[in-house]
Structure 1
Amino acid sequence: MGPPRALVVRGWQPPASPYGPGHRGVDLAAPPGTPVRAAAGGRVSFAGPVAGRGVLSVTLPAPPGGVPLRFTYEPVRAVVARGAEVRAGQVVAVTTADAPSHCAGVCLHWGLRHGAAYLDPLSLLPPHLLRRAPSRLLPLG
């Protein structure tokens, strides 16, 4: 059995314009100390603080002549250094509560960029990770 599936507490809401309001990623329920695993294999392109919060970015290899994808995770404490090669599923950070977050509770903000464009990171997950079993009502007593 693999790691538990994270609960999405706030989904991706693309902005109408490059500088407009929106939510450029997804928020996953994650208390401080939760291991953060790389969504895909790539190279750590950034690991450090941004505006008082720890941020980790992993850049995936670009297709020939293409633009690479880049995942970001925050607020985290990186356990890998800038330049490190990571594989999908490898623990790359742990969540922190060191700085205020935009979440009502504690969460991991997971973002995805393709060049300058923000994308929904959930769009890259295999369908079996997005499906949930149907709810079942059980009799009382």
Structure 2
Amino acid sequence: MAASVAGVGGVTGRAGRVWPVPGTPVVVRGWDPPATPYGPGHRGIDLAAPPGTEIRAVAAGRVTFAGPVAGKGVLTITLDGPGSPPLRTTYEPVRALVREGEHVSAGQPVAVIEAATEPDAEPDADHPAEPGTDLPPHCTQSCLHWGLKRGDAYLNPLALVHGGHVRLLPVWGV
């Protein structure tokens, strides 16, 4: 089930943050953290994005990896800001437009979605599988897998673009 997420030109209510894909993002697969560190789940979100779609940096940071992992192009950006260890965003499958060590700004084009490596391979109803594997398909259509980590902990990347909870504090002496 896909869900459309509102945004104006990719800019959200979070200062200095943008959606990684242009237009109104469509989430084709949401955040589903595993119950155990190596259990099944989805450690990021998938946004609909056809091959060739320009991917933008969600926030300012430094490119810490740009290259292939398991046959797919991956881009990792360590974000500027507080927290230790720092937040890292990942984007795949992409062809990077930036190099390791380069500093990027929020909204800067950093990659483009790669075409499927086996465009003729399609999962069937009896055995939905990633081409060449026994694994279920990651996306049934072209998508950007967008992840977020702090250290070894996977986090929901939507936290970067959605505002946090509002908490009213007591006003003393009123």
TM-score (norm. length: structure 1): 0.84
1:111 maps onto 2:147 in alignment: yes
Bigger strand fraction: 1
CA displacement, residues 16-41 of structure 1 (integer Å, 9 cap, x when unaligned):
01111100000000000000000110
Give the Å deviation of 1:62: 5.0
**Structure 1 residue aligned with 2:57:** 38
- Partners of 2:103 and 2:111 lie apart in 1 by 14
- Partners of 1:23 and 1:118 lie apart in 2 by 10
**Structure 2 residue aligned with 1:20:** 39
Identity of aligned residues (%): 64
- Partners of 1:115 and 1:5 lie apart in 2 by 30
What is the alpha-carbon root mean square deviation over aligned residues?
Answer: 1.5
1:125 maps onto 2:161 in alignment: yes
- Partners of 1:60 and 1:79 lie apart in 2 by 17
1:11 maps onto 2:30 in alignment: yes
- Partners of 1:84 and 1:124 lie apart in 2 by 21
Letter in 1 for 2:35: A
Give the Å deviation of 1:118: 0.3
SS in 2 for 1:113: strand
Contact residue 112 and residue 118 of structure 1 kept, 8 A? yes
Unaligned 5+ runs, structure 1: 128-141
User: Within 5 A, what are the aligned runs for 1:84-99?
Assistant: 84-99=102-117
- Partners of 2:47 and 2:151 lie apart in 1 by 23
The runs of 4+ residues in structure 1 deviating greater than 4 Å are none
Aligned residues, how many?
126
Give the Å deviation of 1:67: 1.2
TM-score (norm. length: structure 2): 0.69
Contact residue 53 and residue 98 of structure 1 kept, 8 A? no
- Partners of 1:118 and 1:62 lie apart in 2 by 18
Contact residue 70 and residue 112 of structure 1 kept, 8 A? yes
Unaligned 5+ runs, structure 2: 1-7, 10-21, 118-130, 132-136, 164-174
CA displacement, residues 56-81 of structure 1 (integer Å, 9 cap, x when unaligned):
000013526x2100000000000000
- Partners of 1:85 and 1:77 lie apart in 2 by 17
